[in-house]
Amino acid sequence: MRYPSAGRGRPGVAAAFLVASLMAALGAGATVPAVAAGAAVHSGGSAAPGPVGWTGTWAASPQQARPADLTGPGDPTVTGFDDQTVREIVHTSIGGTALRIHLSNAFSQQVLTVGAVTVGAEGTGADLATPPVTVTFGGGQGIRIPAGGNAVSDPVRMRVSPLSNLAVSIFLPGVTGPTTNHDLAEQVNYLSVPGDHASDPDGQAFTQQAFSWFYLSAVDVRPLTAAAGAVIALGDSITDGYQSTASANGRWPDVLAARLESSGRAMGVLNEGISGNRVLGDSVCFGTSALSRLGADVLGQAGARTVILLEGINDIGFPLEPDAGCTAPNTAVTARQIIAGYRQIIARAHGRGLRVIGATLTPIEGSGYWSVSTEQERLAVNAWIRSSHAFDGVIDFDQAVRDPADPHRLLAAYDSGDHLHPNDAGYHAMAEAIDLSLLR
């Protein structure tokens, strides 16, 4: 799905739209071990080995920083940091008695030096509600993560509540260069004045806001109760939550997590959506393809059990966008090619023992993606999802949010205004349309 290239909170940046070139599905590159002695690391997109019972409670797919000429001045994902602390707010799905933090330098071009990391419960703004707890890596407070690398922290003993906000603070003492980030957070995060402010309980030093997550890719917990593993939502901006209210956790995966918690059958729910992402095409602006990132973003998640796949509308609508900047080249993709991509995702996930639930593509009429031919492709993809029996189950998001009087359009009450992305009510309706028994 398309969204302003600046994201929220980056004034003066011109809007950009979809993904760039359609390329063959390429891996994001193997990772290499982190430099700190004894630090837990992983490579090739597989999760770091850990004690039985670790389950993901939050995640965000890492992306490379956009080229500088495709973003605005002062964009921290591109300018990076120098002697600065970032305080990042994440919303848990399940609770636990301990946690561990995943950091990613997967798309950076140089070693990342991390001076200190802490975690605490979010208070008001950048203030903490609880004293910050030091996070260590191989027993040390800092770590050096090589370009292309990832690191997993030591276990941190602290009680984590389900459906709560954690504040993870990362001190970056050196010049980072362009960051590994998750561009569209739909969450206010905080940047400090110079210095190590990771252990500051108050937010006075955090004078800037940002709407991306930086280097932080996942948080795992030891579940409070016998959790049934994690659900991974693999998708594009409709999964990423574009047009939902910032810092309100109104994305459909967030609402799904709340439903599971209230049902008494809590599961981790991990949002691996990237705005502008596609099944088949990599992009310098909107992440590597779903096929490319499946290993790192899905198969490597702690406690992964079920995948909900909602992706393909960018593949369909891309050829109608300008053949320039983030959207160049705009190669056409057919329903048959998208379905072949789905089959690859299903086969690879099944090979790792995961179930895959297919979700139908939501309406697009009235948006820049709509034409007679793109609507035919969308309907063909949806017909296959519903009837092929290739998935382990189906969620009909299309039916959940379309206008019964005009099923090619989003229901007005669910339309954010661009006729492509749902609003908060639409995302809530999507989550309510999920039969929870499919996930168990």
For residues 173 and 331, give the distance between their C-alpha atoms in angstroms, rounded to a whole number: 42
Could you report the per-residue pLDDT of 304-325, keeping only the tens digit for each?
Answer: 999 999 999 999 999 998 887 7
How far is it, in rounded angstroms, from Cα 121 to Cα 89?
A: 9
Cβ 244 vs Cβ 250: under 8 Å: yes
Identify the CA nearest to 362 among candidates 235, 266, 264. Answer: 235
**Domain 224-439 annotated CATH 3.40.50.1110:** yes
CB 82 within 8 A of CB 124: no
d(CA 253, CA 266): 13
* Banded pLDDT at 224 (limits 50, 70, 90): confident
Greater pLDDT, 44 or 200: 200
Tell me: pLDDT of 256 over 70.
yes
CA atoms within 13 A of residue 222's CA, in its CB half-sphere: 12
- At 421, the pLDDT band (50, 70, 90 cuts) reads very high
**High-pLDDT (> 70) share of the chain, %:** 88
pLDDT band with cut points at 50, 70 and 90 for residue 90: very high
**Per-residue pLDDT for 47 more than 60?**
no
User: What pLDDT does residue 22 have?
Assistant: 30
Tokens for 332? 């056409």
- 6 vs 137 pLDDT, higher one: 137
Confidence of residue 176 (pLDDT cuts 50, 70, 90): very high
Domain ranges for the chain, please list them. Answer: 55-219, 224-439
**pLDDT confidence bin for 331, thresholds 50/70/90:** confident
227-252: per-residue pLDDT in tens? 689 999 999 999 999 999 999 999 99
Read off the pLDDT of each residue in 397-404 and give the average, rounded to a whole number.
98
Residue with tokens 């030891």: 222
List Cα–Cα distances, 179 to 36, 169, 265, in angstroms: 20, 16, 37
- Bridging pattern class, strands 156-160 and 96-104: antiparallel
Instruction: Name the band, by pLDDT with cuts 50, 70 and 90, for residue 41.
Output: very low
Residue 310 host element (H or E)? strand 304-310
